[in-house]
Structure 1
Amino acid sequence: MTPKQRRLARRLRQLRHNAGISIEDAATRLGCKQPKVTKMELAQLGVKPEEARALCELYGASEATTASIVSLARNAKVRGWYQSYDDAASPENIEFVDLETDAVSVSNFQIDLVPGLLQTREYARAVLRAAHPDLIDEVLEQRADLRIKRQDRVLDFSLAVWAIVTEAALIRAVAGPDVHRAQLKHLTGLATMPNVQFQIIPTREGEHMAMGVPFDCFRFDDGCGTVAIDHLTGTLFLEDETDVERYRLAFQHLCGVALSQQDSLAMLHRYAKEEHSEWQRRN
């Protein structure tokens, strides 16, 4: 089962629930028995593009949503480039990258880390090692490869990224002074790209509504979205419209709390020049 098949199943189930349509009515529309629809919604049975279109029409989905769902059904069994990392990454990692690959934009909030899409390889390797100290070196390197490969869509301008971090992300010297400085320098370059928006929440701003809750909001071509929340034992994916909207509103709140992009870039430049570096004060 591919991540796309699981996402297709969840999207169809959600559309049916939102429309208030019974499984029996869905089965009648497809000219099949109820168990087939149930298996479709559990990703235990594939969905043909024409079946996906018929269900979307029954559920009253918009043209954009229908086109997106039909495309998902058409490509559900296609293995993505990232699935060559199946042996090194967890299923949640693969599903996360699948979402990111299909998204048109991602809004990311991190507390004390630079977002994965903006990390250097050395920084990424250190973060992965800290989170998984028992990983063998070969697997660690493969996971670092996957993280860096994800950045291709940022560099070719096909993915819009809006990243918000707290000031702590600039202070935490992951992997020591050299890697820390290189990461900040790398970040200053990416933050000026036309498809990257970068903001910082200064420590002096105090409380905000997402304290202690880093998250990613993915938006797809039909306007629908998914939220991903990392925790120590995996990743939680939220697709319910109410949940997704809650996180979108939270991100908008963070945008208002954070420094403007211009002021954020100025602060980032100051840290990159080590004017505020803890390492500079120690040496």
Structure 2
Amino acid sequence: MTGSPTVRRRRLAAALRRLREQTGMTADQAAKEVGISKSAISRIENAQVSVMPPVARGLLELYGVEGEEVDALVQVARDARKRGWWQAYDDVLPDWFEVYVGLEAEASEIRAFEPQLVPGLLQTADYARAIIRAEHPDALTDEVERRVELRMRRQTNPVPPKLWVVLDEAALRRPVGGADNFRAQLQRLVEAAEQPGHTIQILTFDAGEYGSMGSAFSLMTFPEPADPGVVYVETRAGSLYLEGQQVREYSRVFEHLVATAASARESRTLIQRAIDEL
């Protein structure tokens, strides 16, 4: 498994930023030494672009890195420039979401809160199609189907992450795609809840107010310690990727949601009840 180039790019960016800071060198100084612009250094260190292997080697040597460590990080730079499978969908995949799909592809665990919708990794094709049509009312049928295909492809990861999902009860009560399609979606949730490594909890209406009401987010962690966790928050206009202290803050919010929601066993009963009442 080659891994996600998105994750590799983040790993290298973090290493280059840390190494530069350890030398006490400014971004402007480093840029002049290797013959690139200060803005290029900034984009590299923020994982906005992939770095050419010769530039990576020049920076590493500038920062005093030697031997096998240089070769290992230059190889990370090469891997970061490979194409992920999701880039075949760039006709329907915006840049801001391409980053998420690349991170999702290598996450070891995803903890997600959704106040209105079943998350993409647990959606049926018909449920996804109904949502996509509502979000893109002017899209042609071929475009809608490409978007559905991308969403379904995300569910075929050969090494899927552990999933811990907290859903507001509203997600069980809005019949997206009509009663029959929605019943199939809820049945898919029941099946997912029984899979090893999956935990699904329902925040019932009786729980009253809670933190992060109305604001969906995902927390992703990765198998390599060198890859820091990320919080993903999506808006209509784009997305935010948060790290460091904000990951800890969102983790505390998620822990509160877990404590407030029905247990996994009670939640399966609630989902089945919603099916029976359709």
TM-score normalised according to structure 1 size: 0.80
The aligned amino acid for 2:147 is R
Q: Is the 8 A contact 2:203 2:260 kept in 1?
A: yes
**Structure 2 CA distance for aligned equivalents of residues 69 and 200 of structure 1:** 43
**Structure 2 CA distance for aligned equivalents of residues 19 and 111 of structure 1:** 43
Cα 1:76–1:217 change in 2 (3 A) is same
* Pair 1:46 & 2:46 matched: no
* Pair 1:194 & 2:192 matched: no
SS of residue paired to 1:150: helix
Residues 203-248 of structure 1: CA deviation (Å, up to 9, x unaligned): 1101111111101111112341111111112222223x01121111
Aligned to 1:252: 255
Cα 1:70–1:172 change in 2 (3 A) is farther
**Counterpart mapping for 1:143-222 below 5 A:** 143-153=147-157, 156=158, 158-222=160-224
Where structure 1 has 5 or more consecutive residues not aligned to the other structure, the ranges are 278-283
Q: Is the 8 A contact 2:96 2:239 kept in 1?
A: yes
Correspondent of 1:128 among 109, 117, 132: 132
**Structure 2 CA distance for aligned equivalents of residues 211 and 57 of structure 1:** 48
Aligned to 1:280: none
* Pair 1:77 & 2:81 matched: yes
SS of residue paired to 2:105: helix
Cα 1:259–1:146 change in 2 (3 A) is same
SS of residue paired to 1:42: helix
Q: Is the 8 A contact 2:163 2:198 kept in 1?
A: yes
Aligned to 2:241: 237
Where structure 2 has 5 or more consecutive residues not aligned to the other structure, the ranges are none
Cα drift, residue 104 of structure 1: 1.2
Cα 1:45–1:214 change in 2 (3 A) is closer
Cα 1:55–1:148 change in 2 (3 A) is farther
Report the number of matched residues: 263
Q: Is the 8 A contact 2:133 2:139 kept in 1?
A: yes
Q: Is the 8 A contact 1:8 1:76 kept in 2?
A: no
Cα drift, residue 57 of structure 1: 9.0
Cα 1:13–1:50 change in 2 (3 A) is closer
Residues 58-83 of structure 1: CA deviation (Å, up to 9, x unaligned): 8xxxx9xx9x9777434111100110
The aligned amino acid for 1:242 is Q
Cα drift, residue 114 of structure 1: 0.6
Q: Is the 8 A contact 1:107 1:216 kept in 2?
A: yes
TM-score normalised according to structure 2 size: 0.81
Q: Is the 8 A contact 1:4 1:77 kept in 2?
A: no
SS of residue paired to 2:167: strand
Q: Is the 8 A contact 1:9 1:41 kept in 2?
A: no
Q: Is the 8 A contact 1:8 1:73 kept in 2?
A: no
**Structure 1 CA distance for aligned equivalents of residues 174 and 58 of structure 2:** 51
* Pair 1:11 & 2:11 matched: no
The aligned amino acid for 2:129 is R
Q: Root-mean-square deviation (CA), in Å?
A: 3.4
